[in-house]
Amino acid sequence: MTAKLILGTEIREEILEEITREVAEIKAKHNQVPGLVTILVGENPASISYVTLKIKTAHRVGFKEIQDTQPLDIGEADLLALIDKYNKDDSIHGILVQLPLPKHIDEKKVLNAINPDKDVDGFHPVNVGRLMIGGGEVKFPPCTPAGIQEMIVRAGVETKGAEVVVVGRSNIVGKPIANMMLQKGRGANSTVTIVHTGTKDLATHCKRADILIVAAGVPDLVKPEWIKPGACVIDVGVNRVGEKVSEKTGKKVAILKGDVDFEAAKEIAGSITPVPGGVGPMTITMLMKNTLKSLKFRLGIA
Ligand code: NAD
């Protein structure tokens, strides 16, 4: 292996330790802790496991955490009233609504009802706008892109003047990370290209990348010959390609693969994230960071 592995599992631990320390300091000085509420409608098993992990992590770093589970048949007006209640609650700094919501509820309406200053997911149009403006305007960068940028910084990869190629233009990964990498400042100041399903020659663009960020959701889309020797490769893709029996639990688990042919790519890249254990663990970690930031904004110490 030639490439240095950038491990989200390790970086997560570093950041969660930092957050835990800061929460304790703020508690000692201001007698307040960050408060995070997750609103779950219904009992979708995948949603329950995501919410449980978020709440467990919030508890670990010393936050006040509330898991508010509502019945599947809750009306839209009642859900909006619940959000309003948490918008007005001064002990809550982050509000998350776990998606998907049942069909009778307008998802957009619900997400837009969250106070942008408590929108720690960073998906509210106000926060999307703040991200686009950049600099001091940014409050809550969306969590997966924020995690990607943090990994690049902590791996010591130079971003200033780097050619960054982002594969994928989704609102949750491709567009925001491309926008973040082109801003001035820490972990950015790069020259950014976004490629997507309408791009004529994917390979030629990818080959120019000093930093290649791939979020397409297509297993092994990026071939080793598309990678510039020494490049930093961030593989965001999480693709279920089969099932296996876990050695630890004896239960069936999904076999996950990224968007990059990892085994071949690691012989060419300078640094690379694996799947699983790469970008995945960073999303919840950055959610904690945004919730802490929200309290710091409130206290005027951010
Ligand atoms: P999406 O389906 O919304 O967007 C995929 C994008 O990739 C699209 O813009 C599309 O144009 C582009 N694309 C798809 N196939 C392509 C091809 N053959 N050539 C060029 N471009 C192509 O997906 P998303 O929500 O952005 O997620 C992308 C991947 O990242 C998925 O595998 C998802 O599971 C994963 N993901 C991981 C995390 C995490 O680890 N925390 C978070 C979000 C998404």
The atom of ligand 1 lying closest to the CA of 169 is 9
Q: Which protein residues are within 6 Å of ligand 1, measured from CB?
A: 144, 167-170, 172-174, 195-197, 202, 215-218, 221, 236-239, 279-280, 283
Mean pLDDT within 5-28: 98
Distance 137 CA to ligand 1 centre (A): 27
Q: DSSP readout, the chain?
A: --SEE--HHHHHHHHHHHHHHHHHHHHHHHS---EEEEEEES--HHHHHHHHHHHHHHHHTT-EEEEEEE-TT--HHHHHHHHHHHHH-TT--EEEEPSPPPTTS-HHHHHHTS-GGG-TT--SHHHHHHHHH-GGG-S---HHHHHHHHHHHHTT---TT-EEEEE---TTTHHHHHHHHHSSSTT---EEEEE-TT-S-HHHHHHT-SEEEE----TT-B-GGGSPTT-EEEE---EEEEEEE-TTT-SEEEEEE-SB-HHHHTTT-SEE--SSSSSTTHHHHHHHHHHHHHHHHHHT--
Residue 172 has pLDDT above 90, yes or no: yes
pLDDT digits (tens, 9 = 90+) for 250-275: 999 999 999 999 999 999 999 999 99
pLDDT given at position 167: 99
Q: Indicate the top mutation candidate among 220, 238, 239, 275 to test ligand 1's pocket, ranked by most ligand atoms within 8 A of CB.
A: 238
Q: Please tell me the residue having the least CA distance from ligand 1 atom 35.
A: 237
- Torsion sign over Cα 118, 121, 123, 128: positive
The atom of ligand 1 lying closest to the CA of 236 is 30
Residue 117 has pLDDT above 90, yes or no: yes
pLDDT given at position 159: 98
Residue 298 has pLDDT above 80, yes or no: yes
Q: What is the pLDDT of the chain when averaged over all its residues?
A: 97
* Beta-carbon contacts of residue 184 (< 8 Å; ≥ 6 apart): 134, 135
Burial letters 34-67, b for 16+ CB under 10 A, else e = bbbbbbbbbebeebeebbeebbebbeebbbebbb
Told to judge if 54 belongs to the known catalytic residues of this protein, a careful annotator would answer yes
Half-sphere exposure of 129 (CA within 13 A, CB side): 4
Distance 194 CA to ligand 1 centre (A): 12
Residue 1 has pLDDT above 80, yes or no: no
Told to judge if 121 belongs to the known catalytic residues of this protein, a careful annotator would answer yes
Active-site residue, from 27, 88, 117, 121: 121
pLDDT digits (tens, 9 = 90+) for 180-226: 999 999 999 999 999 999 999 999 999 999 999 999 999 999 999 99
The atom of ligand 1 lying closest to the CA of 147 is 41
pLDDT given at position 104: 97
Beta carbons of 234 and 256 less than 8 angstroms apart: no
pLDDT given at position 41: 98
Mean pLDDT within 26-32: 98
Told to judge if 118 belongs to the known catalytic residues of this protein, a careful annotator would answer no
